[in-house]
Chains A and B, each alone.
Chain A
Amino acid sequence: MEVDRGAMDCAVDAQSLISMSLMKIHSSRTQRGGIKLHKNLLVSYVLRNARQLYIREKYAEIYRMQQYEEVMAVCSGIQELEPLEPLEPLEPQGAEDAEPEQPGRAAGCGDESRAAGGREPPEPPYYRSCCMEDQFSQNCNKTTVLDLDTHVVTTVENGFLHQDCCCAAAAAPQCAPGAAARKRKVDSAGCSPDAEEPSDYTAGRKRLKREECSGADASNISNLISIFGSGFSGLLSRQADLEQVCSKQALASLGAWTRAIVAF
């Protein structure tokens, strides 16, 4: 979806829209007169649109990471041959670039990298993570969660927390679970992996159990709508169910998650 960002007045950051929308949905539960189906449906559309953009930007970031990884692999290959050459890590291209992605370009890049690499680049352990797994898959099992206490938005994909692979590099000393609560910014793609200690990262990263969400297709508002259900009866019990499900899948292992809304 092309977004005319130039026309927006406030900082239309996909992430802030997501958290704003989730807050609206949450506060609608306590509104007088009951949940308004129409308004919440519209909010869920904004949520979907923001999420689509967010995911697209994430994929672009992943692609940049992968490009860098391949370059690094080549460099280390060169280094083996010429050990006296200093290692010059390249900045991931367009790391600070916050321009909207052209859909065609993203797709083209994906094809390009697949074509370029018949070879399997050696995988440095700190890149074996959720980001890399299945990055071109159309079915992305992501869950976006808003923590109502800290107002932090986090995406959980396939049971793995994204923050571990992307932000941990920028804050190397803190690879503890506390890092999970840090708000992610899209432009943190500029983190320089060479500053990172692979061992710290591996220790800090939480491997969560694979989450079994019912096919969260990006274009489907499904699970969110099911929260509102017909007649909105059982809403309270439904919320409790969702929270239970999440806690089973080891979100409870992160102490910061006390109350959260699970969307999608």
Chain B
Amino acid sequence: MAADIISTVEFNYSGDLLATGDKGGRVVIFQHEQESKNRPHLRGEYNVYSTFQSHEPEFDYLKSLEIEEKINKIRWLPQQNAAHFLLSTNDKTIKLWKISERDKRAEGYNLKDEDGRLRDPFRITSLRVPVLMPMDLMVEASPRRIFANAHTYHINSISVNSDHETYLSADDLRINLWHLEITDRSFNIVDIKPANMEELTEVITAAECHPHQCNVFVYSSSKGTIRLCDMRAAALCDRHSKFFEEPEDPSSRSFFSEIISSISDVKFSHSGRYMMTRDYLSVKVWDLNMENRPVETYQVHEYLRSKLCSLYENDCIFDKFECCWNGSDSAIMTGSYNNFFRMFDRNTRRDITLEASRESSKPRATLKPRKVSTGGKRKKDEISVDSLDFNKKILHTAWHPKDNVIAVAATNNLYIFQDKIN
């Protein structure tokens, strides 16, 4: 079912909860089960914790446009009490959800029966104090805030600020700053819409708040550039503080140069010193102190460079891959086609290609590294570029903030892989 296609995956701050959003507007949250006492050498599994419908399809009557219910992004808030909070967004509206547990129920009311029927007041001869009785765990999700009508274009990113009070939302041309408590107002902090739309040459593709400095954020563009902005400098951050761009290699120019240089994701490292960008063929790590080129570049699937025309024809060239850091920033991960995903170790410079599929990943089995043969003789176990399935794409991956546990979304299936504990 198309509505089951997973469109976003995100661990919370502790890694205890994993949220997924899908094309049908649903959010499914998984919880890490405690390790079983019988088998302490195995990590606990992730089981469904809560499911709710976050967004519904809407219709904009003014523009005669349907607004998709697909969840574009989910971001968790840091936990402050027993309840969990997350932000989920579709193309136009951001919602703050509260997910709370209920495992007790009050019993012994005076005015009504256990099944809720009102008691006849004349029958009540004595008063009792209701008591809390245990009940089966119930997880409830309720929308606490709805942040609407602030975006003319399609929202592509949301990011919670390190002050835990504000967050930003970005669409193709604008970035807004919100306060989590205030829904009827937001501040526009970036606006790249030209006075004359005919002069439009680039759009905003992703934005993120700095993990520690609450005044700093970055946004990437379709032209392959990243701008870092400081909110202390001005109310409207149209002028960047830093501008990151790698000069184009003129020898690799093609019809599709603009498309493949468009950045689809930008993520700060946990340390806040680096950031990573994903374009169609590669992942780049940038040092925030060096603007003229990335410090590391990793080729994800360079063998696709000669296939760009077919990929343009079947629209795959527009796929927006995400990328993520591990907890210690020593490794990065991103997806590819044929249900392959790639991991790069920044220290050893080793990389690995793995596959997320039922056939190749039985429970408890170790994943086998995969290889795509790029030409000449195809070795055994290698896959040729022409037999890659471009309908099986891994766009969304997430890495546990502390442990070596990863979540990989392959179309409508979620795979969770973890390291064996020895």
Contact = CB atoms under 8 A, between A and B. Distances in A.
B48 to A, nearest CB: 28
Give the size category of A's interface with B. 35 or more
B196 to A, nearest CB: 8
Which applies to chain A's interface (DSSP): helix, strand, loop or mixed?
helix
Interface stretch (A144-152, A169-177, A187-195, A222-230): A222-230
Interface in B45-68: 62-63, 65-68
Contact of B198 (A24, A42, A221): A221
B305 interface: yes
Contacts of B255: 3, 12, 17, 46, 49-50, 53
A233 B310 CA distance: 32
Given A38-B203, A38-B222, A9 B310 contact: yes
A32 B68 contact: yes
Given A222-B198, A228-B197, A3 B254 contact: yes
B250 A2 contact: yes
Interface in A17-54: 17, 20, 24, 32-34, 36-39, 41-42, 45-46, 49-50, 53
A231 interface: yes
A221 B253 contact: no
Contacts of A32: 66, 68
Contact of B259 (A2, A4, A42): A42
B213 interface: no
Interface string B15-54: 0000000000000000000000000000000000000000
A231 B312 contact: no
Contacts of B254: 3-4, 7-8
A115 interface: no
B16 to A, nearest CB: 33
Nearest to B250: A2
A7 B198 contact: no
Nearest to A32: B66
A233 B63 contact: yes
Contact of B201 (A20, A49, A221): A221
A232 B63 contact: yes
Nearest to B202: A41
Contacts of B407: none
Contacts of B173: 37
B318 A42 contact: yes
B10 interface: no
Nearest to A229: B197
A4 B199 CA distance: 28
A9 B258 contact: no
Contact of B172 (A10, A37, A46, A220): A37
A1 interface: yes
B309 interface: yes
Contact of A2 (B154, B253, B258, B262): B253
Interface of A: 1-4, 7-10, 12, 17, 20, 24, 32-34, 36-39, 41-42, 45-46, 49-50, 53, 220-223, 225-226, 228-233
Rank and list the top 5 A-B pairs by shortest CB-CB distance, nearest first. Answer: A33-B68, A45-B258, A222-B198, A34-B65, A10-B309
